[in-house]
Amino acid sequence: RLVLVLNGPNLGRLGSREPDVYGAQTFEDLAALCRETGRELGLSVEVRQTDDEAEMVSWIHEAADSRTPVVLNPAAFTHYSYALRDAIAQRTAPLVEVHISNPNAREEFRHTSVVAAVATGTIAGFGMRSYELALRAIADTEE
């Protein structure tokens, strides 16, 4: 079964981006971890990243049309994108919101997620393991 792991703006820069917050591992390391976890769980995992809101919305539409489960790190879109929220509201399979950091322990503007209410659930604060936990949740979920 296919699972899409979708990543929003600035996550392609993991490894060099604020390593004190996001760690030293690169985006490629993250993609490899997701694919490896998928292999273990019997899921075929496709990892993508975009800085473009329109492209992210189109990927959420693609997932809705094909009933594909999604692990989504919306990055900064989390905090303000009603377009992304409205796209996720059309989902036809589980969608797990993930964050590497714990946004609730950070600046005030990160305490609001406009997508959380339309996600199946949220996993945040476990570093790159947040993705692994989300893939396990999808493997265990019948919806």
80 is catalytic: no
22 is catalytic: yes
In the chain the first and final C-alpha atoms are separated, in Å, by 14
Q: Give the shortest CB-73-to-ligand DQA separation in angstroms.
A: 5
Q: Could you give the CA distance from residue 79 to residue 46 in angstroms, rounded to a whole number? A: 25
Nearer to ligand DQA, 76 or 116 (CB): 76
73 annotated to a ligand binding site: yes
Nearer to ligand DQA, 39 or 48 (CB): 48
Q: Which two structure tokens, joined as six digits, stand for 123? A: 């996993």
Q: Of these residues, 61, 80, 82, 99, which one is catalytic?
A: 99
Q: Which two structure tokens, joined as six digits, stand for 56? A: 């992210």
Q: How far is CA 34 from CA 1, 71, 109, 117, 140, in A?
A: 14, 10, 28, 24, 16
3-state secondary structure of 2: strand
Binding interface with ligand DQA (CB under 6 A): 10, 73, 75-76, 78, 99-101, 103, 110
Nearer to ligand DQA, 69 or 103 (CB): 103
Which amino acids are annotated as binding site for substrate, given as ranges? 73, 79, 86, 100-101, 110
Residues annotated as catalytic (active site), given as ranges: 22, 99
